[in-house]
Chain A
Amino acid sequence: MANMKWKSFNGIPLLVTLIWIVAFAASLHFLDKSVLAFLGILSSIVLVYYTNTSKAIKMVIGAAVLLIIIPLVAGDNRYYMEVASQVGIYVAMALGLNIVVGFAGLLDLGYVAFFAAGAYAYAIFSTSQANEFIAGNLFPLSGEWFWPFLIVGLIVAAVFGVLLGLPVLRVKGDYLAIVTLGFGEIIRIIFNNLDKPINITNGPQGITPIPSPELFGIKMGTPFYFYFIVLFVIAFIVLANIRFEHSRLGRAWIAVREDELAAQSMGISLLNTKLAAFATGASFAGVVGVIFAAKQTFIDPTSFTLMESIGILVMVILGGSGSIPGVVLGAAFVTILQVQLLKEFSNFLHSLQQSGIINLPNQLDPSKFQRLVFGIMLILVALYRPNGLIPAKRKKNDLDAIKASKFGQAKLGILSKISQISSGKQS
Chain B
Amino acid sequence: MLLNILPQVLVDGLTLGFMYAVVALGYTMVYGILEFINFAHGEIFMVGAFVGTEVLLITDALGALKGMNPFVALFITLVVAMALTGGLGVLIERVAYRPLRGAPRLVPLISAIGVSFLLQDLVRFTEALARNEFYLNTPTLFTSSISLGGVATIPAKGLVVIVLAIVMMVALTLFVNKTKWGIAMRAVAQDRSTASLMTINVDKVIMLTFLIGSSLGGATGVLFAQNYGTIDPYIGFILGLKAFTAAVLGGIGNLRGAMVGGVLLGLLESLSGAYMGPLTNGAFGAEYKDVFAFSILILVLLFKPEGLFGEAVKEKV
Q: Which residues of A contact B (CB under 8 A)?
A: 105, 107, 167-168, 170-171, 173-175, 177-179, 181-183, 185-186, 189-190, 192-193, 196-197, 261, 306, 310, 313, 317, 361, 363-364, 368-372, 374-379, 381-383, 386
Query: Counting CB contacts under 8 A, is B125 at the interface?
Result: yes
A196 neighbours in B (Cβ, 8 Å): 282-283
A375: which of B99, B121, B297, B301 is its contact (CB, 8 Å)?
B121
Is there an interface contact between A378 and B117, defined as CB atoms closer than 8 Å? yes
Query: In the complex the two chains form, what is the Cα distance from A40 to B91 in whole Å?
Result: 39
- Closest chain B residue, CB of each to CB of A372: B121
A193 neighbours in B (Cβ, 8 Å): 284-285, 287-288
Is there an interface contact between A179 and B118, defined as CB atoms closer than 8 Å? no
A370 neighbours in B (Cβ, 8 Å): 121
Smallest beta-carbon distance A302→chain B, Å = 14
B261 neighbours in A (Cβ, 8 Å): none
Is there an interface contact between A178 and B297, defined as CB atoms closer than 8 Å? yes
Query: Can you list 21 A-B contacts (CB < 8 A)?
Result: A170-B302, A171-B302, A174-B37, A174-B106, A174-B109, A178-B241, A197-B282, A313-B110, A361-B128, A363-B129, A364-B125, A368-B124, A370-B121, A371-B117, A371-B121, A375-B113, A375-B117, A375-B119, A376-B118, A379-B114, A382-B110
Smallest beta-carbon distance A367→chain B, Å = 12
Query: In the complex the two chains form, what is the Cα distance from A265 to B121 in whole Å?
Result: 46
Query: In the complex the two chains form, what is the Cα distance from A179 to B122 in whole Å?
Result: 27
A167: which of B111, B288, B298 is its contact (CB, 8 Å)?
B298
Specify which of B99, B133, B241, B298 lies most central, judged by the most chain A CB atoms within 10 Å of its CB: B298
Q: Which residues of B contact A (CB under 8 A)?
A: 36-37, 95-96, 99-100, 103-111, 113-122, 124-125, 128-129, 132-134, 237, 241, 244-245, 248, 282-285, 287-288, 290-291, 294-295, 297-298, 301-302, 305, 315, 317
Is there an interface contact between A178 and B37, defined as CB atoms closer than 8 Å? yes
Query: In the complex the two chains form, what is the Cα distance from A177 to B122 in whole Å?
Result: 25
Is there an interface contact between A375 and B283, defined as CB atoms closer than 8 Å? no
Query: In the complex the two chains form, what is the Cα distance from A382 to B92 in whole Å?
Result: 14
For the complex, would chain A's binding face be called helix, strand, loop or mixed by DSSP majority? helix
- Closest chain B residue, CB of each to CB of A318: B110
Q: Given A369-B121, A371-B121, A379–B288 Cβ distance below 8 Å?
A: no
Is there an interface contact between A383 and B305, defined as CB atoms closer than 8 Å? no
Is there an interface contact between B105 and A363, defined as CB atoms closer than 8 Å? no
A182: which of B118, B125, B294 is its contact (CB, 8 Å)?
B294
Is there an interface contact between B291 and A382, defined as CB atoms closer than 8 Å? no
Is there an interface contact between B294 and A186, defined as CB atoms closer than 8 Å? yes
Query: In the complex the two chains form, what is the Cα distance from A261 to B122 in whole Å?
Result: 42
Query: In the complex the two chains form, what is the Cα distance from A189 to B96 in whole Å?
Result: 32
- Closest chain A residue, CB of each to CB of B96: A379
- Closest chain A residue, CB of each to CB of B31: A174
B121 neighbours in A (Cβ, 8 Å): 369-372, 375
Query: In the complex the two chains form, what is the Cα distance from A183 to B241 in whole Å?
Result: 12
- Closest chain B residue, CB of each to CB of A377: B114
Q: Known pairs A178-B301, A182-B297, A193-B288. 14 more at Cβ < 8 A?
A: A167-B298, A186-B290, A261-B317, A313-B110, A369-B121, A375-B117, A375-B120, A377-B114, A378-B110, A378-B111, A379-B96, A379-B114, A381-B110, A386-B107
Specify which of A168, A310, A379, A386 lies most central, judged by the most chain B CB atoms within 10 Å of its CB: A379
B116 neighbours in A (Cβ, 8 Å): 375
Q: Given A363-B133, A371-B118, A179–B298 Cβ distance below 8 Å?
A: yes
- Closest chain B residue, CB of each to CB of A265: B317
Query: In the complex the two chains form, what is the Cα distance from A246 to B282 in whole Å?
Result: 52
A107 neighbours in B (Cβ, 8 Å): 106, 109
- Closest chain B residue, CB of each to CB of A260: B315
- Closest chain A residue, CB of each to CB of B132: A361
A171 neighbours in B (Cβ, 8 Å): 301-302, 305
B95 neighbours in A (Cβ, 8 Å): 379
